[in-house]
Structure 1
Amino acid sequence: MTPPAPDELAYSMTLPAALTSPAIARRAARAMLCAHGLDEAVDVTVQALGELAACACRFTPDAEFYVSLRHSGNTIRVTVYDGHPRHTSPRLAAACDGRRRSALRLLARVVGACGGEWGFGESREPGGGTRMWALLPVRVAGGFSTANKDA
């Protein structure tokens, strides 16, 4: 049996907003990436997903959050949706965005180190909430673990 190709990486899961869920998401992502031959991107993807999942658990008022992991064009896209709606008050929205940005400081550093992109905003999905994402270039992400081991 031949392993699935990298561009066939397209998974999603719904997890409870519980303290154990970021660890479950990291383990699942590691298995998925390795199964698709994307071993070189495991460390940075697992770190990014763990940060996004932990933030979702902290902010969502719902009992669960949604995770999507995709590969296309030599880029891994990690997306997490939580149920925290956008505030209607500009002052509250700015304060909430600041807290979320602060909670994602490590994500910003990790994604920046591999030349990726990240962000968050209002979900366009039915039900609303917040969408957080990270785009991780596989070639650069592969050097992420080696560079950090030397540091």
Structure 2
Amino acid sequence: MSENRKIIAENRKARFNYFIEESIECGIALEGTEVKSVKNGSISFPDAFAEIVNNEVFVKGLHISEYSYSSVFNHNPDRVKKLLLHKEEIKRLKRKTEEKGYTLIPIDFYLKNGRVKLTLGICKGKKQFDKRASIKERDVNRDIQREFRKGLN
């Protein structure tokens, strides 16, 4: 079966603020017009995180804007959304997040075979010097690429 995957939104801030140790694909339980809004890209999640409550995973801080073409029914943009995972995966995530410093952060939203999915990362926060090192590494790589392009011309 071919995998048809189209990225809708990506959390670049997560890659800068956290070390992503592991990532896992999750389904997300959405209501009516939320799916249409997500497919339009009307989604914002810079400060979103996931939490395990009663062996269920919920994502908080996720904002899905109201669908503009809906006349009667519209959803609550800031409601807590449930993530769809297997029991074994939830147990593994729970063990991992009980370790000091680990948290669950949504990394990106995408469509896979017509269904909305999200990549959930098991992340550890970066310290200030780690962020500076990331910036320095990015700048050095950019300079190397620039010099490489000049050499080809």
State whether TM-score is above 0.5.
Answer: no
Q: Give the number of the structure whose residues are more often helix, by fraction.
A: 1
When Rg is computed on C-alpha atoms for both structures, the one with the higher figure is 2
Tell me which of the two structures has the higher relative contact order, counting C-alpha pairs closer than 8 angstroms and 6 or more residues apart.
2
